[in-house]
Amino acid sequence: MRESWRWFGPNDPVSLEEIRQTGATDIVSALHDIPIGEAWPRERIAEHKTLIEAGNVPGSQLHWTVVESIPVHDDIKLRAEGHEAYVDAWIKSMRNLAAEGIKTICYNFMPVIDWTRTDLRFQLPNGAFALRFDQDRFAAFDLFILCRDKAERDYNEAEIARARSVFASMGEDEIEALTQTIIAGLPGKMTDAYSLEDFRAALARYADIDHEMLRGNLIAFLERVLPVAEELDVRLAIHPDDPPWDMFGLPRVICTADDLDKLFEKAPSACNGITLCVGTYGSRPDNDLPQMALDFRERIHFAHLRGVTRDPAEPRTFYEASHLDSDIDMVRVIKNLLANEQANQREIFIRPDHGHLMMGDVNTASNPGYSAIGRMKGLAEIRGVIRAMEAGA
Protein backbone atom coordinates (compact mmCIF):
# COMPACT_ATOMS: atom_id res chain seq x y z
CA MET A 1 0.00 0.00 0.00
CA ARG A 2 1.09 3.57 -0.65
CA GLU A 3 1.11 5.45 2.66
CA SER A 4 -0.15 8.96 2.08
CA TRP A 5 -0.82 12.05 4.17
CA ARG A 6 -3.23 14.91 3.55
CA TRP A 7 -1.60 18.32 3.33
CA PHE A 8 -3.56 21.56 2.97
CA GLY A 9 -0.75 23.64 1.51
CA PRO A 10 1.70 26.20 2.88
CA ASN A 11 -0.72 27.37 5.58
CA ASP A 12 -1.19 23.86 6.98
CA PRO A 13 0.06 23.81 10.61
CA VAL A 14 1.62 20.41 9.84
CA SER A 15 4.65 21.12 7.65
CA LEU A 16 6.11 18.99 4.88
CA GLU A 17 9.22 18.54 7.02
CA GLU A 18 7.07 17.02 9.77
CA ILE A 19 5.23 14.81 7.30
CA ARG A 20 8.53 13.36 6.09
CA GLN A 21 9.24 12.29 9.67
CA THR A 22 6.08 10.13 9.71
CA GLY A 23 7.44 7.87 6.98
CA ALA A 24 4.60 8.64 4.56
CA THR A 25 5.67 8.77 0.93
CA ASP A 26 2.68 10.25 -0.88
CA ILE A 27 0.90 13.56 -0.47
CA VAL A 28 -2.84 14.06 -0.85
CA SER A 29 -3.49 17.71 -1.63
CA ALA A 30 -5.41 20.26 -3.68
CA LEU A 31 -5.36 23.90 -4.76
CA HIS A 32 -7.75 25.11 -2.08
CA ASP A 33 -7.45 28.79 -2.95
CA ILE A 34 -8.92 28.47 -6.44
CA PRO A 35 -12.66 29.30 -6.41
CA ILE A 36 -15.08 26.43 -6.91
CA GLY A 37 -15.90 26.05 -10.58
CA GLU A 38 -12.66 27.50 -11.95
CA ALA A 39 -10.11 25.36 -13.80
CA TRP A 40 -6.79 24.69 -12.10
CA PRO A 41 -3.98 26.14 -14.26
CA ARG A 42 -1.22 23.70 -15.08
CA GLU A 43 1.44 26.16 -13.91
CA ARG A 44 -0.20 26.37 -10.46
CA ILE A 45 -0.32 22.57 -10.26
CA ALA A 46 3.35 22.37 -11.22
CA GLU A 47 4.27 24.97 -8.57
CA HIS A 48 2.41 23.04 -5.87
CA LYS A 49 4.05 19.79 -6.91
CA THR A 50 7.50 21.42 -6.90
CA LEU A 51 6.88 22.82 -3.42
CA ILE A 52 6.00 19.36 -2.12
CA GLU A 53 9.04 17.71 -3.68
CA ALA A 54 11.58 20.50 -3.03
CA GLY A 55 12.93 18.95 0.17
CA ASN A 56 13.30 15.42 -1.19
CA VAL A 57 16.57 13.64 -0.44
CA PRO A 58 17.56 9.99 -0.87
CA GLY A 59 15.62 7.95 1.67
CA SER A 60 13.04 10.67 2.27
CA GLN A 61 10.80 11.30 -0.71
CA LEU A 62 7.38 12.95 -0.90
CA HIS A 63 5.34 13.04 -4.10
CA TRP A 64 1.96 14.59 -4.84
CA THR A 65 0.06 11.61 -6.23
CA VAL A 66 -3.56 12.02 -5.08
CA VAL A 67 -5.89 15.00 -5.45
CA GLU A 68 -8.42 15.57 -2.73
CA SER A 69 -10.33 17.17 -4.21
CA ILE A 70 -11.52 18.96 -7.34
CA PRO A 71 -14.81 20.53 -6.17
CA VAL A 72 -17.95 19.80 -8.19
CA HIS A 73 -19.97 23.00 -8.53
CA ASP A 74 -23.56 22.86 -7.24
CA ASP A 75 -24.82 23.90 -10.67
CA ILE A 76 -23.47 20.58 -11.96
CA LYS A 77 -25.30 18.69 -9.21
CA LEU A 78 -28.48 20.55 -10.17
CA ARG A 79 -27.83 20.40 -13.93
CA ALA A 80 -28.70 24.08 -13.87
CA GLU A 81 -28.68 26.18 -17.00
CA GLY A 82 -25.07 26.86 -18.01
CA HIS A 83 -23.63 24.06 -15.87
CA GLU A 84 -21.71 22.71 -18.87
CA ALA A 85 -19.10 25.45 -18.42
CA TYR A 86 -18.35 24.13 -14.93
CA VAL A 87 -18.02 20.59 -16.27
CA ASP A 88 -15.59 21.87 -18.91
CA ALA A 89 -13.53 23.57 -16.19
CA TRP A 90 -13.50 20.34 -14.13
CA ILE A 91 -12.25 18.40 -17.14
CA LYS A 92 -9.57 21.01 -17.81
CA SER A 93 -8.35 20.66 -14.22
CA MET A 94 -8.19 16.90 -14.70
CA ARG A 95 -6.22 17.29 -17.93
CA ASN A 96 -3.76 19.66 -16.28
CA LEU A 97 -3.27 17.34 -13.30
CA ALA A 98 -2.67 14.37 -15.59
CA ALA A 99 -0.12 16.39 -17.55
CA GLU A 100 1.83 16.74 -14.29
CA GLY A 101 1.55 13.00 -13.57
CA ILE A 102 -1.20 13.23 -10.91
CA LYS A 103 -3.78 10.64 -11.87
CA THR A 104 -5.85 9.70 -8.81
CA ILE A 105 -8.66 12.16 -8.10
CA CYS A 106 -10.99 12.01 -5.10
CA TYR A 107 -14.23 14.02 -5.36
CA ASN A 108 -17.74 13.96 -3.93
CA PHE A 109 -21.28 14.76 -5.05
CA MET A 110 -22.78 16.04 -1.79
CA PRO A 111 -25.31 18.82 -2.39
CA VAL A 112 -24.84 22.18 -0.58
CA ILE A 113 -22.81 20.87 2.38
CA ASP A 114 -19.65 18.82 2.65
CA TRP A 115 -18.59 16.55 5.52
CA THR A 116 -20.34 17.56 8.71
CA ARG A 117 -19.75 17.22 12.44
CA THR A 118 -21.39 18.88 15.44
CA ASP A 119 -18.54 18.60 17.98
CA LEU A 120 -14.89 19.31 17.22
CA ARG A 121 -13.49 18.60 20.70
CA PHE A 122 -15.37 15.64 22.16
CA GLN A 123 -13.25 14.47 25.07
CA LEU A 124 -12.51 10.77 25.35
CA PRO A 125 -11.90 8.92 28.64
CA ASN A 126 -8.13 9.02 28.03
CA GLY A 127 -8.16 12.83 27.76
CA ALA A 128 -7.69 13.10 23.99
CA PHE A 129 -10.29 14.81 21.82
CA ALA A 130 -12.25 13.40 18.88
CA LEU A 131 -14.64 14.69 16.23
CA ARG A 132 -18.27 13.77 16.85
CA PHE A 133 -21.62 13.89 15.12
CA ASP A 134 -24.52 14.19 17.54
CA GLN A 135 -27.91 13.64 15.91
CA ASP A 136 -29.81 15.56 18.59
CA ARG A 137 -27.51 18.59 18.30
CA PHE A 138 -27.87 18.44 14.53
CA ALA A 139 -31.65 18.30 14.82
CA ALA A 140 -31.57 21.23 17.27
CA PHE A 141 -29.71 23.27 14.67
CA ASP A 142 -32.03 22.25 11.84
CA LEU A 143 -35.27 22.82 13.74
CA PHE A 144 -34.55 25.74 16.07
CA ILE A 145 -31.53 27.65 14.73
CA LEU A 146 -31.82 27.29 10.97
CA CYS A 147 -35.61 26.98 11.31
CA ARG A 148 -35.72 25.14 7.98
CA ASP A 149 -39.12 25.19 6.33
CA LYS A 150 -41.00 21.92 6.99
CA ALA A 151 -38.01 20.45 8.83
CA GLU A 152 -40.33 18.86 11.40
CA ARG A 153 -41.44 16.37 8.71
CA ASP A 154 -38.00 14.72 8.94
CA TYR A 155 -38.25 13.96 12.69
CA ASN A 156 -40.63 12.05 14.93
CA GLU A 157 -42.10 13.48 18.13
CA ALA A 158 -39.42 11.99 20.38
CA GLU A 159 -36.61 13.35 18.18
CA ILE A 160 -38.16 16.82 18.16
CA ALA A 161 -38.52 16.75 21.95
CA ARG A 162 -34.88 15.78 22.43
CA ALA A 163 -33.75 18.46 19.99
CA ARG A 164 -35.84 21.09 21.78
CA SER A 165 -34.25 20.10 25.10
CA VAL A 166 -30.75 20.33 23.61
CA PHE A 167 -31.50 23.75 22.13
CA ALA A 168 -32.93 25.04 25.39
CA SER A 169 -29.69 24.15 27.18
CA MET A 170 -27.43 26.00 24.71
CA GLY A 171 -26.02 29.46 25.32
CA GLU A 172 -25.39 32.03 22.59
CA ASP A 173 -21.73 31.10 22.22
CA GLU A 174 -22.59 27.42 21.82
CA ILE A 175 -25.27 28.22 19.26
CA GLU A 176 -22.80 30.30 17.27
CA ALA A 177 -20.11 27.63 17.45
CA LEU A 178 -22.51 24.92 16.26
CA THR A 179 -23.74 27.14 13.44
CA GLN A 180 -20.26 27.89 12.21
CA THR A 181 -19.19 24.25 12.46
CA ILE A 182 -22.07 23.15 10.23
CA ILE A 183 -22.41 25.92 7.64
CA ALA A 184 -18.90 27.38 7.44
CA GLY A 185 -17.42 23.99 6.67
CA LEU A 186 -14.56 21.83 7.92
CA PRO A 187 -11.06 21.29 6.50
CA GLY A 188 -10.96 20.18 2.88
CA LYS A 189 -14.56 21.20 2.24
CA MET A 190 -15.59 21.42 -1.38
CA THR A 191 -18.57 23.69 -0.87
CA ASP A 192 -18.90 27.36 -0.04
CA ALA A 193 -19.22 28.84 3.44
CA TYR A 194 -22.65 30.36 4.08
CA SER A 195 -24.52 32.79 6.23
CA LEU A 196 -27.78 31.37 7.59
CA GLU A 197 -29.75 33.31 4.99
CA ASP A 198 -27.51 32.10 2.15
CA PHE A 199 -27.67 28.55 3.49
CA ARG A 200 -31.47 28.58 3.39
CA ALA A 201 -31.34 29.88 -0.18
CA ALA A 202 -28.88 27.16 -1.21
CA LEU A 203 -31.14 24.48 0.26
CA ALA A 204 -34.16 25.94 -1.52
CA ARG A 205 -32.50 25.36 -4.90
CA TYR A 206 -32.81 21.61 -4.27
CA ALA A 207 -36.50 21.70 -3.34
CA ASP A 208 -37.50 19.71 -6.44
CA ILE A 209 -34.47 17.38 -6.57
CA ASP A 210 -35.02 13.82 -5.34
CA HIS A 211 -32.63 10.87 -5.12
CA GLU A 212 -33.19 9.64 -8.66
CA MET A 213 -32.73 13.11 -10.12
CA LEU A 214 -29.50 13.71 -8.19
CA ARG A 215 -28.20 10.26 -9.14
CA GLY A 216 -29.08 11.02 -12.76
CA ASN A 217 -27.19 14.30 -12.57
CA LEU A 218 -24.14 12.45 -11.22
CA ILE A 219 -24.31 9.97 -14.10
CA ALA A 220 -24.67 12.83 -16.60
CA PHE A 221 -21.55 14.45 -15.14
CA LEU A 222 -19.62 11.18 -15.39
CA GLU A 223 -20.76 10.65 -18.98
CA ARG A 224 -18.87 13.83 -19.84
CA VAL A 225 -15.87 13.20 -17.60
CA LEU A 226 -15.14 9.48 -17.87
CA PRO A 227 -14.19 9.37 -21.58
CA VAL A 228 -11.50 11.95 -20.84
CA ALA A 229 -10.37 10.03 -17.74
CA GLU A 230 -9.99 6.92 -19.91
CA GLU A 231 -7.97 8.88 -22.46
CA LEU A 232 -5.67 10.18 -19.69
CA ASP A 233 -5.57 6.97 -17.60
CA VAL A 234 -6.95 8.89 -14.62
CA ARG A 235 -8.71 7.07 -11.79
CA LEU A 236 -11.71 8.87 -10.31
CA ALA A 237 -12.53 7.94 -6.70
CA ILE A 238 -15.88 9.23 -5.44
CA HIS A 239 -16.05 9.86 -1.70
CA PRO A 240 -19.20 8.83 0.19
CA ASP A 241 -21.63 11.34 1.63
CA ASP A 242 -20.54 12.14 5.17
CA PRO A 243 -22.54 11.34 7.27
CA PRO A 244 -24.05 8.83 4.82
CA TRP A 245 -27.75 9.69 5.03
CA ASP A 246 -30.09 12.48 3.93
CA MET A 247 -29.67 15.80 5.74
CA PHE A 248 -31.60 19.09 5.67
CA GLY A 249 -34.12 17.50 3.33
CA LEU A 250 -31.35 17.00 0.76
CA PRO A 251 -31.00 13.69 -1.08
CA ARG A 252 -27.65 11.93 -0.77
CA VAL A 253 -26.81 9.16 -3.18
CA ILE A 254 -23.39 7.70 -2.22
CA CYS A 255 -24.16 6.16 1.17
CA THR A 256 -24.36 2.38 0.83
CA ALA A 257 -23.10 -0.58 -1.18
CA ASP A 258 -26.41 -0.53 -3.05
CA ASP A 259 -25.75 3.07 -4.08
CA LEU A 260 -22.38 2.01 -5.49
CA ASP A 261 -23.95 -0.87 -7.41
CA LYS A 262 -26.35 1.60 -9.03
CA LEU A 263 -23.47 3.92 -9.87
CA PHE A 264 -21.39 1.25 -11.59
CA GLU A 265 -24.37 -0.19 -13.43
CA LYS A 266 -24.93 3.18 -15.09
CA ALA A 267 -21.24 4.17 -15.44
CA PRO A 268 -19.22 0.94 -15.80
CA SER A 269 -15.93 2.49 -16.92
CA ALA A 270 -12.90 1.04 -15.12
CA CYS A 271 -11.83 4.63 -14.39
CA ASN A 272 -14.99 5.11 -12.34
CA GLY A 273 -13.99 4.10 -8.82
CA ILE A 274 -14.36 4.91 -5.15
CA THR A 275 -12.61 6.27 -2.14
CA LEU A 276 -13.28 3.61 0.46
CA CYS A 277 -13.73 5.93 3.42
CA VAL A 278 -14.03 3.31 6.12
CA GLY A 279 -15.20 5.72 8.80
CA THR A 280 -17.87 7.32 6.66
CA TYR A 281 -19.40 4.11 5.34
CA GLY A 282 -18.97 2.61 8.79
CA SER A 283 -21.17 5.32 10.30
CA ARG A 284 -24.06 3.17 9.07
CA PRO A 285 -24.48 -0.22 10.76
CA ASP A 286 -25.90 -1.68 7.52
CA ASN A 287 -22.56 -1.18 5.71
CA ASP A 288 -20.26 -4.20 6.08
CA LEU A 289 -16.84 -2.64 5.49
CA PRO A 290 -14.72 -5.81 5.20
CA GLN A 291 -17.23 -7.16 2.68
CA MET A 292 -17.32 -3.88 0.76
CA ALA A 293 -13.53 -3.99 0.56
CA LEU A 294 -13.91 -7.32 -1.25
CA ASP A 295 -17.00 -6.57 -3.33
CA PHE A 296 -15.55 -3.39 -4.83
CA ARG A 297 -11.98 -4.66 -5.11
CA GLU A 298 -11.51 -3.40 -8.67
CA ARG A 299 -13.11 -0.03 -7.91
CA ILE A 300 -11.10 1.01 -4.83
CA HIS A 301 -8.54 3.56 -6.01
CA PHE A 302 -8.04 5.29 -2.65
CA ALA A 303 -8.85 4.46 0.97
CA HIS A 304 -9.38 6.57 4.08
CA LEU A 305 -8.70 4.43 7.13
CA ARG A 306 -10.38 5.45 10.37
CA GLY A 307 -13.03 4.00 12.66
CA VAL A 308 -16.17 5.26 14.36
CA THR A 309 -18.07 4.20 17.46
CA ARG A 310 -21.83 4.58 17.22
CA ASP A 311 -24.21 5.37 20.08
CA PRO A 312 -26.32 2.23 20.71
CA ALA A 313 -29.35 4.36 21.57
CA GLU A 314 -29.07 6.58 18.49
CA PRO A 315 -26.96 4.97 15.71
CA ARG A 316 -26.72 8.27 13.81
CA THR A 317 -24.68 9.67 16.69
CA PHE A 318 -21.03 8.64 16.54
CA TYR A 319 -17.54 9.73 17.46
CA GLU A 320 -14.31 9.07 15.60
CA ALA A 321 -12.59 6.33 17.55
CA SER A 322 -9.02 5.06 17.44
CA HIS A 323 -8.05 3.61 14.07
CA LEU A 324 -7.99 0.02 15.32
CA ASP A 325 -10.57 0.22 18.14
CA SER A 326 -14.04 1.02 16.84
CA ASP A 327 -17.23 -0.58 15.55
CA ILE A 328 -15.34 -1.47 12.35
CA ASP A 329 -13.05 -4.48 12.00
CA MET A 330 -10.16 -2.49 10.56
CA VAL A 331 -7.80 -5.46 10.59
CA ARG A 332 -10.12 -7.41 8.26
CA VAL A 333 -10.55 -4.34 6.05
CA ILE A 334 -6.77 -4.02 5.69
CA LYS A 335 -6.42 -7.77 5.08
CA ASN A 336 -8.94 -7.56 2.25
CA LEU A 337 -7.34 -4.47 0.75
CA LEU A 338 -3.99 -6.27 0.69
CA ALA A 339 -5.66 -9.22 -1.06
CA ASN A 340 -7.09 -6.79 -3.61
CA GLU A 341 -3.63 -5.43 -4.32
CA GLN A 342 -2.31 -8.90 -5.00
CA ALA A 343 -5.26 -9.80 -7.22
CA ASN A 344 -5.18 -6.56 -9.19
CA GLN A 345 -1.39 -6.21 -9.28
CA ARG A 346 -1.52 -2.56 -8.25
CA GLU A 347 -1.02 -0.63 -5.04
CA ILE A 348 -3.81 1.30 -3.33
CA PHE A 349 -3.22 4.75 -1.91
CA ILE A 350 -4.24 4.85 1.75
CA ARG A 351 -4.11 7.54 4.38
CA PRO A 352 -4.89 7.72 8.10
CA ASP A 353 -8.12 9.68 8.02
CA HIS A 354 -8.44 12.19 10.83
CA GLY A 355 -6.84 11.61 14.17
CA HIS A 356 -7.40 12.46 17.80
CA LEU A 357 -6.24 15.79 19.14
CA MET A 358 -3.77 14.69 21.78
CA MET A 359 -0.56 15.32 23.70
CA GLY A 360 1.39 18.39 22.53
CA ASP A 361 -1.11 19.20 19.79
CA VAL A 362 -3.94 19.98 22.22
CA ASN A 363 -2.86 23.59 22.73
CA THR A 364 -1.43 24.26 19.27
CA ALA A 365 -3.13 25.40 16.09
CA SER A 366 -4.43 22.58 13.92
CA ASN A 367 -7.24 21.83 11.49
CA PRO A 368 -10.01 19.81 13.19
CA GLY A 369 -9.28 16.14 12.55
CA TYR A 370 -5.91 16.89 10.98
CA SER A 371 -3.48 17.39 13.84
CA ALA A 372 -0.09 15.70 13.50
CA ILE A 373 0.28 13.37 16.48
CA GLY A 374 -3.14 11.74 16.28
CA ARG A 375 -2.76 10.97 12.60
CA MET A 376 0.79 9.69 13.10
CA LYS A 377 -0.54 7.35 15.80
CA GLY A 378 -3.15 6.09 13.34
CA LEU A 379 -0.59 5.64 10.59
CA ALA A 380 1.73 3.72 12.92
CA GLU A 381 -1.10 1.38 13.92
CA ILE A 382 -2.14 0.79 10.31
CA ARG A 383 1.47 0.28 9.26
CA GLY A 384 1.92 -2.30 12.00
CA VAL A 385 -1.08 -4.31 10.79
CA ILE A 386 0.16 -4.18 7.20
CA ARG A 387 3.72 -5.24 8.10
CA ALA A 388 2.45 -8.12 10.23
CA MET A 389 0.21 -9.39 7.45
CA GLU A 390 2.90 -9.04 4.81
CA ALA A 391 5.23 -11.05 7.02
CA GLY A 392 2.59 -13.75 7.40
CA ALA A 393 2.23 -13.23 11.13
Helix axis angle, 196-204 to 172-183, nearest 10°: 40
What CATH number is attached to the domain comprising 68? 3.20.20.150
Residue 327 CB partners (closer than 8 Å, separation 6+):
282, 285, 307, 308, 309, 310, 321
For residue 166, being part of any structural domain is answered with no
241 is catalytic: no
For residue 143, being part of any structural domain is answered with no
239 is catalytic: yes
Q: Of the listed 107, 281, 319, 370, which one is catalytic?
A: 370
For residue 134, being part of any structural domain is answered with no
For residue 153, being part of any structural domain is answered with no
> What pLDDT band is residue 269 in, cutting at 50, 70 and 90?
very high
281 is catalytic: no
Q: Of the listed 304, 319, 356, 361, which one is catalytic?
A: 304
- pTM (2 d.p.): 0.95
For residue 340, being part of any structural domain is answered with yes
**Among 257, 263, 262, CA closest to 296:** 257
> What pLDDT band is residue 138 in, cutting at 50, 70 and 90?
very high
Residue 298 CB partners (closer than 8 Å, separation 6+):
270, 273, 340, 344
- Mean pLDDT confidence for 147-162: 96
For residue 190, being part of any structural domain is answered with no
CA distance 154 to 162: 14
CA distance 362 to 356: 9
State the pLDDT at residue 329. 97
9: domain range? Answer: 2-112+207-361+374-390
> What pLDDT band is residue 186 in, cutting at 50, 70 and 90?
low
63 is catalytic: no
State the pLDDT at residue 207. 94
> What pLDDT band is residue 139 in, cutting at 50, 70 and 90?
very high
State the pLDDT at residue 194. 79
Q: Residue 188: is its pLDDT beyond 80? A: no
For residue 174, being part of any structural domain is answered with no
Percent of the chain at pLDDT exceeding 90: 90
State the pLDDT at residue 344. 85
State the pLDDT at residue 107. 97
Q: Of the listed 75, 134, 353, 361, which one is catalytic?
A: 353
Q: Of the listed 106, 255, 271, 277, which one is catalytic?
A: 277
For residue 62, being part of any structural domain is answered with yes
Say if strands 104-107 and 119-123 run parallel, antiparallel, or are unpaired.
unpaired
> What pLDDT band is residue 345 in, cutting at 50, 70 and 90?
confident
Q: Of the listed 239, 301, 323, 356, which one is catalytic?
A: 239
CA distance 132 to 296: 28
Q: Residue 173: is its pLDDT beyond 70? A: yes
- Tally of domains in the chain: 1
Q: Of the listed 74, 354, 356, 361, which one is catalytic?
A: 354
CA distance 90 to 85: 9
Convert the pLDDT of each residue in 308-341 to its tens digit.
999 999 999 999 999 999 999 999 999 999 999 9
